[in-house]
Amino acid sequence: MIDLPPMDRPRKRSVMVEGHPTSVSLEDAFWSGLRRMAQSEGLGLSQLVAEIDRRRPVEVGLATAIRLAVLARREQPPAEMADARHQVGAARQDDPVNDGGR
């Protein structure tokens, strides 16, 4: 038998994406994972959400893209995580984002 995490309903929160407030509904586990991911990248939550939003295909919703990004991060070996942090840091220098939520 598998151990399941607590099942909660998605919580809607507002984040700034490219200067516009955007509502995103995620379960608490994904909000927590997203905050940890932002912290490990040295980004504000709004900056990370904006980065995910820029990189997602048009046909994929923002909440789905965030969930997949959080899951992908959990599955990355530590060496790949360090490389990803370097790439995001370089992208930040080229494309600054105004992050009021930092």
Cβ pair 45, 53 in contact under 8 A? no
* List of residues 6+ apart from 59 with CB closer than 8 A: none
pLDDT at 93: 47
Q: Is residue 35 part of a domain?
A: yes
Q: Is residue 101 part of a domain?
A: no
Q: Is residue 74 part of a domain?
A: yes
Cut 0.85: pTM above it: no
pLDDT at 98: 41
pLDDT at 38: 97
Q: Is residue 96 part of a domain?
A: no
Q: Is residue 29 part of a domain?
A: yes
What is the 3-state secondary structure of the chain? CCCCCCCCCCEEEEEEECCEEEEEEECHHHHHHHHHHHHHHCCCHHHHHHHHHHHCCCCCCHHHHHHHHHHHHHHCCHHHHHHHHHHHHHHHHHCCCCCCCC
Q: Which residue has the tokens 């909660």?
A: 8
Per-residue pLDDT of the chain (102 residues), as tens digits, is 888 878 889 999 999 998 999 999 999 999 999 999 999 999 999 999 999 999 999 999 999 999 999 999 988 776 555 555 555 555 444 444 444 443
Q: Is residue 2 part of a domain?
A: no
- How far, in whole angstroms, is CA 77 from its chain's centroid? 18
CA atoms within 13 A on the CB side of 44: 13
Q: State the total domains in the chain.
A: 1
Q: Is residue 73 part of a domain?
A: yes
Q: Is residue 3 part of a domain?
A: no
Range of the domain at 67: 11-91
